[in-house]
Amino acid sequence: MRFTKPSWVMHKDSAKDTKRLSIFSVHVHPDGSRIATGGLDAKVRIWSTKPILNSASERSNRPPKSLCTLSMHTGPVLTVRWAHSGRWLASGSDDEIVMIWDLDPSGRGKVFGSNEINIENWKPLKRLPGHESDVTDIAWAPEDRYLASVGLDSNVIVWCGYTLERIRKLDQHNGFVKGVCFDPVGEFMATQSDDKSVKIWRTTDWGLEAEIRKPFEDSPGSTFFRRLSWSPDGAHITASNATNNRGFVFIAAVITRGLWTSEISLVGHENTVEVASYNPHIFLRNPSTPIATSNICSVVALGADDRSVSIWQTKSARPLIVAREVFERQIMDLSWSRDGLTLYAASSDGTVAVFDFDAEELEGIAPYGAQAQYLQKFGFIPPPVPEGFSHGTSCGEESAPSASRITPPPSPTPRASTQASQSGFGTSAVNGGEQINRLVAKKSKKKHVQPVLMSNIPSASTTLSKIAPPVSGRGLVNGTNALGISTSERRSLAARAAPVSRSVSPAPSLRGFDADIEMGGSMDMEVPIDSLDQASSPEMTKGKRKASLMELEERPVRSRTLGGDRNRESVTVREIAQVGETWDALPALRSAEVLSSPPVLTLLSAKVDGSDDVLEGRNSEGDGPTEVLFVSSKQTQWLDYLPSPVVALSASPSFCAVATQDGSVNIYSHTGRRIMPTLSLGSPCALIHSCKSALLLLSTLGRLSCINVKSQSAYFPPVSVDSLINTPNCTILSATIRPNGAPVIQCSSGITYSYDPQLSSWIKLSERWWAEGSDVWQGRQRSNREVVASIEGAISITGGTSEPRKRPEWWNTALTLGHLESKMLAAKALDSPMEYKQALLLYAKKIADEGFRAKAEELIRDLFGPVFWRPGRDDCWCPTIVGMLKRDLLREVLSVFARSKTLTKLALDWQDTLKKATNDEST
């Protein structure tokens, strides 16, 4: 084995900055020519693998090390995955967006805003909005038939892998979803969540096939990811973040297909397993003996929070290799090359490590022909791709199947009825002998129903052209399918196809090549992609031409819209001067104004989050009317005329709000219908903000109104903000609203407020005071999309740096505990469960470190509640907080206390009490 850590593979803030930022994901291209990484700098970076694996190439910088930097995301990139075809790259970020990238052969040059040079240009093909929080993992189905994305909104979204339209949204998880994978046949999809379960979904109807909970009952909820992987023969899933012995032994759980049980554990890591990744090959323990179940095995790699990587063979109880102290922080992602001999590992310390093996080290790799023979022997025929679809072309495969073939997704396979007991990882004992695991997608007699594409889901497509819909090839006529491929020809193609349902064939091994002649030929500065070369074949060109003709014939006529038939004129944004009483609509109220009136501009605009739709307000400088326009894809969808100039507007995915100078507010739907009566505030609106169905209005008289547009009701009666700005030179910097109707008012005094209707009082969410001594103040860290963290970041920006002063002995401890308590209450008020949980666990750790037993007991009792709680009794205690069960949170708090030197016995006693109470409730 050869090990290397290329120092030049790194993410950083700018070209001059040398500080490494965390790398959250790494994935190797199917042809092995490049890897993609995603990091904290909100960028996707693509690197050549030749300089990594060959020292001569690294010294000569031929081909260049860095190929491209992609910077369309606005938040840290948490996952990157190449399509099996190698044609597209998908990335997911905490900006809630999945982005699809495609290579632009004509585009290259300088990276905007830096001195970096893009050797090649990957352009955004399509932007896939739909998640409401961070996108943590994505996966392509075999043949790129589907793309699945999961996130911290607890949802799983399935997209069509061909048209990139949204097909289905699965919302049955009760916690953050942090891992997803497909089985090699494409029959099932597996997802893993913080709700301590792995769910198996059928790809035919997206129904729930099974749910596995046992290995994860005591697993910690503090891991960044729960990335799981399916073995290449489809027999097992290896899931991360599992535990044995009541949570004290960290393991990876091996789940058996069909039975969906987990009787096998991979034990050895000293901390939580973060990611599992199977080698894409079936291996032969002895290549000279026949292919049989006893002679085949799989290889899986594990990355954990103990900073080590382990590699396991399925027929062995001990790991083949354990690499310790490879990184300074936890492992975030693993990726095997297609030849099965190179493993890439990424860590949050900002580095990437590469393990390069010989075939003998992995107990003999099976030849590709033998592997295809094994799959064909047991009934597996890989599904082909749609007609005219170049994205699905096999990468680097000379004998690629014709692009004009397709089979629909496989029918449901009946649940396994065998009750064979497990005899080892990868084998099943039946009557004392071994049974070969038959991996076959069986046909169903039921009529197949194609999934309905939810094309009305808003998405901002850039350059994606329409693709002809898949053609079903299930019906056979005289032994030939609907596209003219005979059964014998199809089996012949299957025998030559790439292993395990992947649409790319393996690239030649990268070891032993000359630095100047391979992976680029005579053009040393180029790194070709095999799948793009295949796309220019005559068959593909013919298919593309056919699809283009279909588009011309079936192109719909543009529908008529209100104002869409007139030319849109560009308007220069400038302030309209007041002339006499023309714009002074309410002169009698000027003296009572708390906030200054906003200026009247010629043009105001607001963009709808997650789309390219824009709401505009146009004020005339003369006697012309005031116009309101809603523009989608450069076409005016509707317009309206108002009697008073527009001074503020806001647009959410649910509605549009327009405030005028006479104190009126008009609320429209996205089709231009007035969905609420015109509101009269009594004075012009100084600040306006919308979020989902919530609308905030703050008038110049200092009256705050928060309205639920969906239910057409107020969250609380209008309140005054006078008390927030009663100090000299104190002003309101911003006013926003949360989806639950809670306002967030940031003042120049360094304090951020919200209003609690139950207390009928303003409450402090955060203030600059905590920065004076709290150890967990995040104001100086990188900005975060979480609401409380962003509030602290804004406070830090507006405040100055205080001079260091001598503090009392308990200063930092007191401010840290007070800050965490305030942060939990703020997260509760703003309905931010993730931040509440993070603050709670930090609070528990601080209490444990200090050994404050009284505080620990009070926290435990508050979360545990009455022993025999029933609805209707003890109304002062609620079993949930911010949508999470308090006793589930208590389990994690007790795990923190159990690791303390002073609170261990207290934690163990309460763990027993909690377990007994749970058993009593279940009976």
Structure tokens at 629: 């326009």
**Chain centroid, CA 216 distance in Å:** 22
pTM of the model: 0.49
pLDDT at 558: 60
Are residues 783 and 793 in contact, defined by beta-carbon separation less than 8 angstroms?
Answer: yes
Largest CA distance in the chain: 100
Cα(854)–Cα(844) distance, rounded to whole angstroms? 12
Tell me the C-alpha distance between 729 and 838, whole Å.
35
Domain ranges of the chain: 131-195, 593-749, 767-798+810-830, 832-922
Cα–Cα dist 332/512, whole Å: 30
Sheet holding 229-230, edge to edge: 229-230, 236-244, 249-256, 264-267
Q: How far apart are CA 253 and CA 239, in angstroms?
A: 5
**Cα angle at 232 between 358 and 51, to 5 degrees?**
40
Return the pLDDT at 476.
31
- Please report, as a single letter, which amino acid is at residue 437: N
pLDDT value for 411: 33
Closest CA to 174 of 111, 216, 128: 216
Sheet with 156-160, side-by-side order of all strands:
135-140, 146-151, 156-160, 166-170
- Parts of the chain with a pLDDT under 50: 367-370, 372, 375-390, 392-524, 535-556, 579-583, 585-586, 782-783
Q: Which of 324, 289, 290 is nearest to 310 (CA)?
A: 324
Q: Please give the angle made by the CA atoms of 96, 99 and 101, to the nearest 5 degrees.
A: 165
Tell me if 656 sits within 8 A of 642, measured CB to CB: no
Check: CB of residue 35 under 8 Å from CB of residue 345.
no
CATH of 593-749, one of 1.10.1060.10, 1.20.140.150, 3.40.1400.10, 2.130.10.10: 2.130.10.10
What is the per-residue pLDDT for 576?
A: 81
Short-list 775, 802, 778, 811, CA closest to 792? 778
Give Cα 611 to chain centroid, integer Å. 18
CA-based nearest residue to 212, from 201, 225, 198? 198
**Beta-carbon contacts of residue 872 (< 8 Å; ≥ 6 apart):** none
Instruction: Provide the 3-class DSSP secondary structure of residue 869.
Output: coil
Amino acid (1-letter code) at residue 137 = D
SS3 90: strand
Q: How far apart are CA 168 and CA 255, in angstroms?
A: 25
Coil, helix or strand for 391? helix
Under DSSP, is residue 891 helix (H, G, I), strand (E, B) or coil? Answer: helix
Which helix (H) or strand (E) segment holds residue 534: the answer is helix 530-534
Q: Given this model, what pLDDT does residue 804 score?
A: 65
* Closest by CA position to 129, among listed 157, 89, 154: 157
**415-417-422-425 Cα dihedral, nearest 10 degrees:** -30
Please tell me the total number of residues recorded for the chain in this structure.
923
3 state SS for 837-853 = HHHHHHHHHHHHHHCCH
Which residues 6+ apart lie within 8 Å of 356 measured at CB? 1, 2, 3, 4, 53, 341, 342, 511
Write the pLDDT tens digit of every residue in 833-867: 999 999 999 999 999 999 999 999 999 999 998 87
**pLDDT, position 89:** 95
Question: In the 8-state DSSP scheme, what is residue 602?
Answer: S
**Using CA atoms in the order 236, 240, 241, 242, what is the torsion angle rounded to 10 degrees?**
20
CB 28 within 8 A of CB 37: no
Q: Would the CA dihedral through 7, 10, 15, 16 be positive or negative?
A: negative
Q: Determine which helix (DSSP H) or strand (DSSP E) holds 890, and give its type and residue range.
A: helix 886-898
**Could you give the CA distance from residue 597 to residue 844 in angstroms, rounded to a whole number?**
47
Q: Are 832 and 786 in contact (CB under 8 A)?
A: yes
